[in-house]
Amino acid sequence: MIQGTGSHVGKSVLTAALCRVFADKGVRVAPFKAQNMALNSFITREGGEIGRAQAFQAFAAGISPSIHMNPILLKPSSDTGSQVIVHGKVQGNMDARIYHFKKEALRETVRESLAFLRERFDLVLMEGAGSPAEINLKDYDLVNMGAAKMAGAPVLLAGDIDRGGVFASLYGTLALLDEDERPYVKGLIINKFRGDISLLAPGLAMIEKRTAVPVLGVIPYFHDLYLPEEDSVGLRRRMGTPDGVIRVGVIQLSHISNFTDFDILAMEPDVSVEYILPDDSFEGLDALVIPGSKNTLTDLARLRETGIDRKILSFAEAGGTVVGLCGGYQILGKSIRDPEKVESGMGTIEGLGLLDTETVMATEKTTTLDTARRVEGDPKERLEGYEIHMGVTRRGEGSRPLFRIVSRNGTPCDVADGAVNAHGNVWGTYLHGIFDNDAFRHDFLNALRERKGLPPLARSGVFHRQRLLESVERLARTVEAALDMERIEEIIRRGITP
């Protein structure tokens, strides 16, 4: 199990790296995170929703994602409450206090998924959440030491030296563990190091002496890796080419979700992706995107409070390209109704009115892996994406569909999706991952280039998957070289014995 001294210290990435390292050795390996709190999610072949990080770790391991790799997913919908997803399906919205009372029942869910994976794989690489030293949550823990005990898994504790205070973080975390928890920690990892490693030697020797736990490696800081972020802690204000020829602005909603939709845009030549806050100017933007949201009605109300709604309308009226994905698609319509109070108590709220659509929030969540085709385009071309939404959207006569979905979760169908306005400069869709389709993405960017009088760029084939594979390989080789893999393999063989 990989645990960390806090959030965003590199647990997810280290787990993914080790998944690839062991898979390359011929080990059947699977990732596992008992409970994940994240707004970036993914749909498995079972049609269930899991954290995006576990889907990426499965990709690194060379296997298909499963709901058992992340049996409990929490998607924050307010400061005190989350949508609770168990084995891929929504169980409802709960505040923290109510959720904690359900933890004992959920332990059986975690045990079930652990057993499922252990029966099918040689090695399960577990990931913790936050820190195991959150002493106020000890009684309810089922994702850090609670999960390690359940599985009998030895723990490697990672700390982030880039943010400073790594030795204090490692020492303090171990000091706050209970007596019966400390023997589980078999090694320390220092992550995100920049500079001359020899200067770190005195600190490594001292932390080993004071904790009696060996340092198993120092991992260098990575640059230019194409890896999906798990949550908004890792969201960067600007990505891609500085001052890119094509500038794409993404509205930074308060409850932004699945913002990994835009990572691939930032990997294209001469493209910059910028997250837009209320006071930011739209000047110079070539396209504006309203992303997914875990609380669409609240985020729409916030757009009005801050005045961004008027700026979006002016941008569209001037002919600017405006795109809405999932919750952003709903926001672009005429209205959103929530009669069952699925997301909030607002009831009905007026949308931006840029698309002739109306949305009604539903109590049943749509979670599907989709294959689609463009309504206007090569009928043989197929696009891949996934849907994660509570709403049902209807088009009026003023909008035409954008896609035809030809299969959901492997079952053939013929369903219209999305909408585009009469002028073609405003469109929306429920399909996440649409820009991961190389042909669609390049056509989108080349249309923006044409408006600026720039020559089109040639399509680059399997750009997305190729970049992802290259990043995974580079990640795995770097981590493998930095860690004492012989000792780690011995720790796995020995388990939690002294």
Query: Residue 295: which CATH number?
Result: 3.40.50.880
262 occurs within a structural domain: yes
Tell whether 189 and 308 lie within a shared domain. no
Q: Write out the H or E segment, with its range, that includes residue 314.
A: helix 308-317
Tell me which residue has tokens 């936050």: 130
Q: Residue 231: pLDDT above 60? A: no
Tell whether 282 and 414 lie within a shared domain. yes
**Cβ–Cβ < 8 Å for 116, 87:** no
Q: Which of 326, 389, 442, 464 is catalytic?
A: 326
Tell whether 62 and 134 lie within a shared domain. yes
d(CA 170, CA 148): 18
| Residue-level pLDDT at 230 | 60
Q: What is the mean pLDDT of residues 157-185?
A: 96
Tell me the pLDDT tens digit for each residue of 402-413: 999 999 999 999
Q: What is the domain-level CATH number for residue 94?
A: 3.40.50.300
**Which range, of 199-203, 257-261, 373-377, 382-386, averages the lowest pLDDT?**
257-261
Q: What is the mean pLDDT of residues 286-315?
A: 96
Determine the structural domain holding residue 390 and report its residue range.
246-453
Tell me the pLDDT tens digit for each residue of 452-469: 999 998 765 447 778 888
d(CA 164, CA 9): 11
Tell me the pLDDT tens digit for each residue of 91-102: 988 887 788 778
How many angstroms separate the Cα of 295 from the Cα of each of 75, 346, 356?
10, 11, 21
Residue type, 457: L
Tell whether 265 and 393 lie within a shared domain. yes
Tell whether 142 and 197 lie within a shared domain. yes
Tell whether 350 and 483 lie within a shared domain. no
Tell me the pLDDT tens digit for each residue of 413-439: 999 999 999 999 999 999 999 999 989
Tell whether 68 and 149 lie within a shared domain. yes
In the chain, what percentage of residues exceed pLDDT 90? Answer: 77
Tell whether 389 and 295 lie within a shared domain. yes
Tell whether 124 and 201 lie within a shared domain. yes
**Which range, of 242-256, 320-334, 338-352, averages the lowest pLDDT?**
338-352
461 occurs within a structural domain: no
Tell whether 18 and 111 lie within a shared domain. yes
Nearest to 67 by CA among 39, 91, 86: 86
**Which range, of 19-23, 161-165, 239-243, averages the lowest pLDDT?**
239-243
326 part of the active site: yes
**Cβ–Cβ < 8 Å for 418, 430:** yes
Q: Which of 68, 255, 389, 432 is catalytic?
A: 432
97 occurs within a structural domain: yes
pLDDT band at 174 (very low <50, low <70, confident <90, very high): very high
d(CA 137, CA 494): 29
Structural domain count, the chain: 2
Q: Residue 378: pLDDT above 90? A: no
**Cβ–Cβ < 8 Å for 326, 359:** no
397 occurs within a structural domain: yes
Q: Residue 236: pLDDT above 70? A: no
380 occurs within a structural domain: yes
Paired residues of 408 in beta bridges: 370, 411
Tell whether 24 and 158 lie within a shared domain. yes
432 part of the active site: yes
Q: What is the mean pLDDT of residues 23-50?
A: 94
Paired residues of 386 in beta bridges: 369, 432
231 occurs within a structural domain: no
- The percent of the chain in helix, strand and coil, each rounded to the nearest 5, is 35, 30, 35
Q: Residue 235: pLDDT above 80? A: no
Tell whether 10 and 148 lie within a shared domain. yes
Nearest to 71 by CA among 127, 7, 139: 127
464 occurs within a structural domain: no
Burial grade of 258 (CB within 10 A; 0-12, 13-18, 19 or more):
buried
Mean pLDDT over the full length of the chain: 92
201 occurs within a structural domain: yes
